[in-house]
Amino acid sequence: MSNLNDRNRGIIEEFRANGGKVGGPFAGATLVLLHTIGAKSHQERINPVACVRDSDRLVVIASKAGAPTHPDWYYNILANPRITVEIGTEQFQVDATVAEEPERTRLYSKMVSMMPGFADYERKTTRIIPVIILTRTK
């Protein structure tokens, strides 16, 4: 877990230093920083996640790179769906909802068209990978 935390910390620092742009596997992708409240710990957690825009909404995928379990941030969102996101140099609150079919498949396909690696994640796992819609609060 420490390696993942160190990697995430490096991505977050690079994101903030470069107005939301990062290199490596996320080069050219739109990245957001999800600020969630831990479902059990009740402490703030920040996770860098690839996203795609859908009209005026942001969409993130709880893929965990095709692991058999959902990422921790997904459970944090279920427990506390009003979260803060950073995108570019902007920070604002959103309401997070889990997409239902057929919208889930449409949005997942939209992410795959941007980042084809997400197709591999579906093939690697037997779970249905959740798609999260982030709608800016007013």
Domain CATH for 53:
2.30.110.10
Half-sphere exposure of 111 (CA within 13 A, CB side): 28
The pLDDT tens digits for 39-88 are 999 999 999 999 999 999 999 999 999 999 999 999 999 999 999 999 99
pLDDT computed for residue 111 by the predictor: 96
Q: Count how many domains the chain has.
A: 1
Domain that holds residue 66: 2-136
Taking 80 as the threshold, does the pLDDT of residue 24 lie above it? yes
Query: Which of the four pLDDT bands, split at 50, 70 and 90, describes residue 3?
Result: low
Structure tokens, 70: 């959902």
Instruction: State the chain's mean pLDDT as an integer.
Output: 93
pTM for this entry: 0.92
CB 18 within 8 A of CB 10: no
pLDDT computed for residue 28 by the predictor: 85
